[in-house]
Amino acid sequence: MRGSFAYLVKQDALRWKRSGTTKTWFWTYVALIAIAVVGIITVWSLKGRFDPLVLLFCTFGFPYMTFMFAYTMLHREWKNGTYGWWLTLPYPRLWLVAAKYLSALLQVLLFYAVCYVVTLLLTLYGKGLDGSLQPDRFFGFAKMTSLWYGLLIAYAPFMLAFGLLSGTVAQSRWKPLMPIMWLGFAVSGNMVLWLSKFWDDRVWNRSDWGAFVTYKWPVWLSVALPSTLLVAILFVLMSAKIVERHLTT
Amino acid sequence: MNEAFVGGLRFTLDLSQPLYEQVLNQIRNSVAKGEIALGDKMPSVRELAQALKINPNTVMRAYQELERDGLTETRRGQGTFITTDAGKVESIRRQLAEKAVEEFLGKMRGLGYDWPDIERILREKGGETA
Amino acid sequence: MNGCAVRCESVRKRYGSKWALRDFSVAIPERRITAVLGPNGAGKSTFFRMLCGITRPDAGRVEVLGRTPGWRTNRDIAYLPDRARWYGDLSVGDSFVWAERLLPEFDKERAEQLAAYMGLDPGMKAEGMSRGEEARLMLVLCAARRVPLIVLDEPFAGIDLISRERIVSTLIDILSSREQTVLISTHEISETESLFDYVVFVDNGQVALAGDAERIRAERGSMEQVYRQLYR
């Protein structure tokens, strides 16, 4: 049917749509967290102890969250008892799986974008407050943030695909392999972060918040990241295969 | 037990016997008794099926049989109607009556009564209900 | 004579050490309503899942509408899964949009009529519904599709009396047009047996008895009585 694939993607994206009361709770929490964060930064700035790198350290959990996001998207059909409807939809299994993947990807990218913007805004605010805001410093920091988020975003498709694959494996006759999947999850979550040597002391000058010394983009990263994309595609195809033939329903 | 009253016809269905026969016989009975008059419109297959909560197929079979008997006629676009031929109805009445008597006689003979006894009881009882 | 909507030949299916279906053979007539009866665990749901391609047989042949089960054949099948739940964030109206976009031959107008008949409020979200209301909604999603085969796994489970009667009424309407094949499994035998054209009694993964409902009645009594005889 025309537009079915697009609709499937949309459906999974809007699954987080909340009803009246939980919507209020959600935004209340967001507001509270926002107030807390701004408050903490304000206090630190006024004491002259706000290092915006903290904001980047907060992103260490992102690859894990990304994996779990995709995993949940699949697991949810079973948890909520709707898998019967999903599996009997008259579309290729690859569509079903790819729709979930695409939906997750779009949401995750949106989330990263929002965090990126918020990071820069909070830095402007915090450093503006303690008086050390200078254009070249800020742009140095912005460059660093951009590079870092670039890495995160480049790595996201792989983590999403891995999460999706794990989700399907968990419902298939390959379920006994789950411990290996979880191990992979634990290891790969931080792999790029450490191996990229981004947080090496020779890359940036800790005492000087915006002084970006130099980041030499490791050659292997230029090879590794596109490879992760290929692996991601492979994982999505494997997920489709598992859904088609190997589920234990 | 499905009981229903629809379009002048009363039905009581026993699920342990074929339903089609019951629907057929009960309609015949109703016609013979005059519960539904000559030329009256019968409920549609769907209506009757809904009222009795039974499969429309079953109703359809019964209606087809009635049509074959000449007890009903279908007018295209208008529905199914009881025949206007009084003779047909009369002959059904007679058939049902004969069947009732046959059953009665069968039961009495089964109890061991012969004709003189049966006649005697009939007179006694007949007198009472006169 | 009619063709067969579904045909199974010596189908076997095992889950772990338990045989869900063993040497299961059946031919379901088309354009009739067939009831599949049996106690829990007899294999009814496994059978239905095979028709919709969710489960594959370990051995034997399954044919639905003359084809192999799978997502392609599902275009022509409206399936109500057993113990299914609905997407909580969707309202009745949203659900109809969902069906319109994703399920072929979905008749939205008919769905709205049926929803009104079943007492479903168009704005109500599935997460706020009682189980009975949710069950009715899912049934409407199946009944409002103009497809050759409708498979309902326990459509009466968790539904109150009045709603059950309305479902029966809806099924009678569907049957009146004589275009669709309906396959249902149910435990509410006495309430629904007057609907059945064809009946299949399943026991322990096999067909214990199958045949025309009226003929079984003539030979053995009501479906309820036969059930008691078979599963004592």
Contact C218 B20 (CB under 8 A): no
Rg (chain B; Cα; Å) = 18
What's the pLDDT score for residue C1?
Answer: 42
3-class secondary-structure state, position C48? helix
Kindly state the tokens that stand for C216.
Answer: 């079984």
DSSP states along B49-108: HHHHT--HHHHHHHHHHHHHHTSEEEETTTEEEE-S-HHHHHHHHHHHHHHHHHHHHHHH
Contacts 24+ apart (CB under 8 A), C162-167: C163/C118, C163/C119, C163/C132, C163/C136, C164/C188, C164/C191, C165/B53, C166/C117, C166/C118, C167/C118, C167/C136, C167/C139
Distance CA A13, CA A96 (A): 13
φ, ψ of residue A131 to 5 degrees: the values are 80, 0
Contact C71 A89 (CB under 8 A): yes
B 43-82 residues inside an 8 A Cβ radius of C: 45-46, 49-50, 52-58
CA distance C32 to chain B (A): 9
The dihedral of CA B36, B39, B45, B50: what is its sign?
A: negative
Residue pLDDT, tens place only, C46-77: 999 999 999 999 999 999 999 999 999 999 99
CA distance C52 to chain B (A): 26
φ, ψ of residue A79 to 5 degrees: the values are -60, -40
CA distance C168 to chain A (A): 23
Identify the chains in contact with B, defined as 3+ C-beta pairs within 8 A.
C
Distance CA B82, CA B85 (A): 9
- Residues in chain C with CB shorter than 8 Å from the CB of B63 are none
Contact C176 B56 (CB under 8 A): yes
Distances (CA, A) of C115 to B78, C131, C223: 30, 15, 30
Nearest to A108 by CA among A48, A49, A149: A149
pTM of the model: 0.89
Neighbours of C72 (CB within 10 A): 13
Q: Within an 8 Å CB–CB cutoff, is residue A23 touching chain C?
A: no
Q: At what angle do helices C161-176 and B45-52 cross, to 10 degrees?
A: 160
Distances (CA, A) of C229 to A245, C36, C209, C220: 39, 16, 11, 9
φ, ψ of residue C27 to 5 degrees: the values are -130, 115
Residue pLDDT, tens place only, C131-144: 889 999 999 999 99
Q: Within an 8 Å CB–CB cutoff, is residue A7 touching chain C?
A: yes
ipTM of the complex: 0.94
pLDDT tens, position by position, for chain C (232 residues)?
458 999 999 999 998 889 999 999 999 999 999 999 999 989 999 999 999 999 999 999 999 999 999 999 999 999 999 999 999 989 999 999 999 999 999 999 999 999 999 999 999 999 889 888 999 999 999 999 999 999 999 999 888 898 899 999 999 999 998 899 999 999 999 999 999 999 999 999 999 999 999 999 999 999 999 999 999 8
- Residues in chain C with CB shorter than 8 Å from the CB of A19 are 89, 125, 127-128
Distance CA C197, CA A42 (A): 76
3-class secondary-structure state, position C5? strand
pLDDT tens, position by position, for chain A (249 residues)?
777 888 888 887 766 655 555 677 888 888 998 899 888 888 888 887 788 888 888 888 899 999 999 999 999 999 999 999 999 999 999 999 999 999 999 999 999 999 999 999 988 888 888 777 778 878 888 888 888 898 899 999 999 999 999 999 999 999 999 999 999 998 888 777 777 777 766 566 555 666 665 667 777 778 888 899 999 999 999 999 999 988 887
φ, ψ of residue C198 to 5 degrees: the values are -130, 145
Going by C-beta distance under 8 Å and a sequence separation of 6 or more, which residues neighbour residue A165?
A181, A235, A236, A238, A239, A242
Identify the chains in contact with C, defined as 3+ C-beta pairs within 8 A.
A, B
Contact A247 C88 (CB under 8 A): no
Percentages helix, strand, coil for chain A (3-state, rounded to 5) are 80, 0, 20
Distances (CA, A) of C48 to B4, B49, B125, C7, C64: 34, 27, 61, 12, 11
